[in-house]
Structure 1
Amino acid sequence: MQMKVGDVMSREVRTVQPGQRILEVASLMCLYRYHGLPVVDDAGRLVGVVAERDVLHSLFPTIDSLVAEGMHGVDLDRQLETYGEVLERSVEELMTHSPISVDPEMHLLRAATVMVRHNFRRIPVTEHGRLVGMLSLGDVHKAIFHANITGALAR
């Protein structure tokens, strides 16, 4: 039996839009423990992914400030104070554009290989550019486990 992404992916996916403020995204991340969210346009096409690391990366000192002040000269407390400014930015400003995705017809292990190669715990599933689901490593493992345990119990 060939296992496909579409057989095990989550179809109920929380999304955000490019024009939303990071404040809304950060609220969702903190409240629901999302580590990242797919970004879709009005037609449901996947245009990006915004992750916690994208938000936090905005707080890091710039290369210019590190060169000017040196690593020990950067005021990290002052950097933290800029978080309020980050929350006012748009999703489009911070998101990863043109994200990697998989197709629902892709073999499950091929999709898992893509995920592991890119160090992703979850990946968007798209069909003709439209977001149709999300696949997590947990989904992959659970599907393989169930397929094998069912076979083992039948023996």
Structure 2
Amino acid sequence: MKVGELMTKDPVTIPEEATLEEAARLLLQNRYGGLPAVDEKGRLKGVLQVEELLPRPENIPFSDVEAWQLFGEWVDEDALEEVYRRYQTTRVKEVMRKEVPRVHPEDPLGRALELLLTTDIRHLPVVDGEDRVVGILTRSDFLKLILKEV
């Protein structure tokens, strides 16, 4: 079976120039965990996953102390709302993952599954020969095989 047979065709994308506020709205409205970010010609430029919009624990340099980091800033829960407010107008391209794996519709499904299982990408873009996004694959898509809904 090929990627093109299982992928979600014509996925929702976000312009790389969109703001994080616009991205958050689109993610929430569609109940998505990530979006391919594209340029004005629909070419893949990166992927914005919800994880990029959440604080994550990091070790403070030269110590064993762990603290939260969000958009490159050290934050505590009291400052969280203020940090989000400041970053509302930040562009998607500033926080998205730029180096992302991708597959083509004619690639074998095994290749896509390998990428989904061995990388931290949860929304695998499917692109055509000109790097335009034509589909998306997630781990959940593989459940369709069990249900024979392909």
TM-score class, shorter: 0.7 to 0.9
Distance 1:101 1:139, change over 3 A: same
**Alignment-mate amino acid for residue 137 of structure 2:** L
Larger Rg: 1
Structure 1 stretches lacking a partner, 5+ long: 148-155
The one-letter code matched in structure 2 to 1:77 is: D
Structure 1 residue ranges, 4+ long, deviating more than 4 angstroms after superposition: 59-64
Q: TM-score scaled by structure 2?
A: 0.79
Q: Structure 2 stretches of 5 or more lacking a match?
A: 68-74
The equivalent of 1:153 in structure 2 is none
Q: Corresponding residue for 2:42?
A: 44
Superposition TM-score, scaled by structure 1 size: 0.77
How big is the alpha-carbon RMSD for the aligned residues of Structure 1 and Structure 2? 2.7
Q: Is the 8 A contact 2:100 2:121 kept in 1?
A: no
Match of 1:91 in 2: 92
Within 5 A, what are the aligned runs for 1:64-143?
71=67, 75-128=76-129, 129-143=131-145
In structure 2, relative to structure 1, the CA distance for the partners of 1:84 and 1:61 (3 Å cut) is farther
Given that residues 11 and 136 in structure 2 are in contact (C-alpha distance below 8 angstroms), is that contact kept between their aligned partners in structure 1?
Answer: yes
Size of the alignment, in residue pairs? 140
Identity of aligned residues (%): 34
Q: Secondary structure at the match of 2:27?
A: helix
Instruction: State the partner residue of 1:150.
Output: none
Change (3 A) 1:62 1:50: farther
Larger helix share, 1 or 2: 1
**Which amino acid in structure 2 is aligned with residue 23 of structure 1?**
E
Letter in 1 for 2:139: L
Amino acid paired to 2:37:
V
Structure-2 separation of matches of 1:47 and 1:136: 18
